[in-house]
């Protein structure tokens, strides 16, 4: 399998509808893709409805199978104050219908105890369908860093709960690769790869959110310690490529995916060469 074929394409990279995301992933040679299947809040409009639409979930599943693209993960509703299990349960139902093994969860409730209780019930419901929940920490959310995410996952007590380290969020929350290296391998569901420019100005929630959604950079073109980040991940950890290049904003989903594939391959080939050279030096 090629380097790109071993990677997962993040839905944010191309910002397209679920069906277009699958097609773009196949076009660019990605072996898998993540999908966003609804808005960020329950009740938000979504251009191509998936929740409660069995014909759509079937079409997505069949299209992915036809193109040889594995459906890796689903991004569904995020958790805010007032969110109830009934609000987010449809995400689990649709994910099960799609045959996807992982749901990404984001917590924006500042009451950690309340969120942890709901998160545990969400994980329990997902576990009945064999689905894992990847809790992603965001420095502008209620789960602001890796320690927050690990504490919530541990306290919820569910075997299918784990964390999702993102290279950008790790650095912006004050974390280092060494923090990732100490996480038990079974607690890391998958990881997200991107780069970013050196931070300038105040790290406000609004500025951090804007950067994460609109200003990521291809790996190797910014200042994040990406080699160390990859070294810290468990062997065989799934890597999702999440770079929404601003200069590609007006291009088609297929074009965005093709450029993402080229950027990812360029960096990962260099990473492999650097690791091989380091190994040779250690033997010598």
- What is the architecture, at CATH level 2, of domain 4-283? Alpha-Beta Barrel (3.20)
Residues comprising the chain, all counted: 284
Alpha-carbon distance 221 to 218, whole Å? 6
Query: Which pLDDT band holds residue 1 (cuts at 50, 70, 90)?
Result: low
Closest CA to 164 of 238, 236, 92, 58: 238
* Average pLDDT, integer, range 67-77: 98
pLDDT higher than 80, residue 284: no
Which is nearest to 74 in space by CA: 40, 52, 104, 94?
104
- Digit-coded pLDDT (tens) for 156-199: 999 999 999 999 999 999 999 999 999 999 999 999 999 999 99
Say if residue 9's pLDDT is above 90.
yes
Three-state DSSP class for 69? coil
Return all residues near 21 (Cβ < 8 A) that are at least 6 apart: 9, 11, 14, 33, 34, 35, 253
Q: Which residue has the tokens 């689903």?
A: 74
Mean pLDDT in residue range 36-55: 94
Q: What is the pLDDT of residue 156?
A: 97
Confidence of residue 2 (pLDDT cuts 50, 70, 90): confident
Q: How much helix, strand and coil, in percent to the nearest 5, is found in the chain?
A: 50, 15, 40
pLDDT at 99: 98
The predicted-structure confidence for 79-117, as pLDDT tens digits, reads as follows: 999 999 999 999 999 999 999 999 999 999 999 999 999
Q: Record the pTM.
A: 0.96
Average pLDDT over residues 267-282: 91
d(CA 253, CA 119): 33
Tell whether the model's pLDDT for residue 278 goes beyond 90: no
Average model confidence (pLDDT) across the chain = 96
Other residues' Cβ atoms within 10 Å of the Cβ of residue 103: 28
Any idea where the domains of the chain sit in the sequence?
Answer: 4-283
User: Does 272 have pLDDT greater than 90?
Assistant: yes
């Amino acid at each position: 399998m090629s380097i790109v074929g071993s990677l997962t394409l993040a839905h944010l990279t191309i910002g397209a509808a679920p069906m277009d995301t699958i097609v773009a992933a196949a076009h660019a040679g990605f072996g898998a893709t993540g999908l966003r299947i609804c808005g960020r809040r329950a009740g938000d409009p979504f251009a191509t409805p998936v929740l409660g639409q069995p014909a759509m979930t079937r079409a997505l599943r069949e299209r992915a199978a036809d193109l040889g693209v594995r459906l890796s993960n689903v991004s569904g509703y995020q958790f805010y104050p007032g969110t109830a299990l009934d609000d987010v349960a449809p995400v689990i139902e649709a994910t099960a219908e799609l045959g996807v093994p992982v749901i990404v969860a984001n917590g924006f409730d500042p009451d950690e105890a309340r969120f942890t209780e709901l998160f545990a019930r969400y994980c329990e419901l997902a576990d009945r369908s064999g689905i894992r929940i990847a809790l992603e920490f965001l420095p502008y959310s209620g789960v602001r860093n890796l320690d927050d995410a690990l504490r919530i996952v541990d306290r919820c007590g569910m075997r299918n709960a784990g964390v999702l380290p993102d290279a950008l969020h790790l650095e912006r929350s004050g974390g280092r690769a060494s923090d990732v290296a100490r996480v038990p391998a079974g607690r890391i569901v998958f990881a997200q790869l991107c780069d970013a420019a050196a931070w300038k100005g105040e790290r406000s929630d609004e500025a951090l959110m804007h950067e994460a959604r609109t200003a990521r950079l291809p790996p190797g073109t910014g200042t994040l310690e990406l080699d160390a980040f990859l070294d810290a991940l468990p062997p065989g950890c799934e890597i999702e490529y999440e770079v929404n290049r601003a200069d590609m904003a007006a291009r088609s989903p297929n074009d965005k995916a093709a450029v993402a594939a080229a950027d990812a391959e360029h960096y990962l080939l260099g990473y492999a060469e650097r690791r091989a050279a380091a190994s040779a030096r250690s033997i010598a």
